[in-house]
Amino acid sequence: MSFDSVRLITFDCYGTLIDWENGMLAALRPLFLPDGRKVADAQILELYGEIEAELESGPYLPYREILSRTAREIGRRLNTDISAEEARAFASSLTRWKPFMDTVAALQSMATRFQLGIISNVDDDLFAETRKKLAPVEFHFVVTAQQMQSYKPSFRNFEEAICRSGLTKDQILHAGPEPLP
């Protein structure tokens, strides 16, 4: 692929633009402290990744539900009762997760040369709150799991982005852990 042909950069949002790990850990850690036991961050993240992938590979569920179920299942595996209310609060915490320090400036710089897009495993309302933290950057389009009723790495999500862009695959660079189809 020649970078000279790139016209659009699409981004995975959480973990690429948004500090997913620190946001998640800040919301999950307190759930495991009431019994006086400290759970290692690495263990929480490992369990989170494993459980989330399992849930996303099944029938489509809204991402808020994925987040809630993941929190409760982590608790189950660590012998800590996570209430439905605590799990919902964890899901809502996503709206408070912050961009990496250099994200907005980097996006502003890239926007002078490229179109920018988002392809994210999230619900529309959750991303709407995150989008405010990325202002004043404008995205040419946003493709969410909710819109597609599927989670990346499903090709459907990437194919929709290609369709919305009006460009060819060789004109698009995706920044994130998933390859373009």
What residues act catalytically?
Answer: 12
3-state SS assignment for residue 168: coil
| CA atoms 145, 21, 13, 31: torsion sign | positive
The DSSP element (H or E) to which 90 belongs, if any, is helix 84-93
Q: For the stretch 59-94, what's the b/e string if a residue is b when 16 or more beta carbons lie within 10 angstroms of its beta carbon?
A: eebbbbebbbbbbbbbbeebebebeeebbebbbebb
> CA dihedral in degrees (55, 149, 21, 161; nearest 10)?
140
Task: Report the largest interatomic distance among the alpha carbons of the chain, rounded to a whole angstrom.
Answer: 56
> CA angle at residue 156 from 99 to 121, to 5 degrees?
25
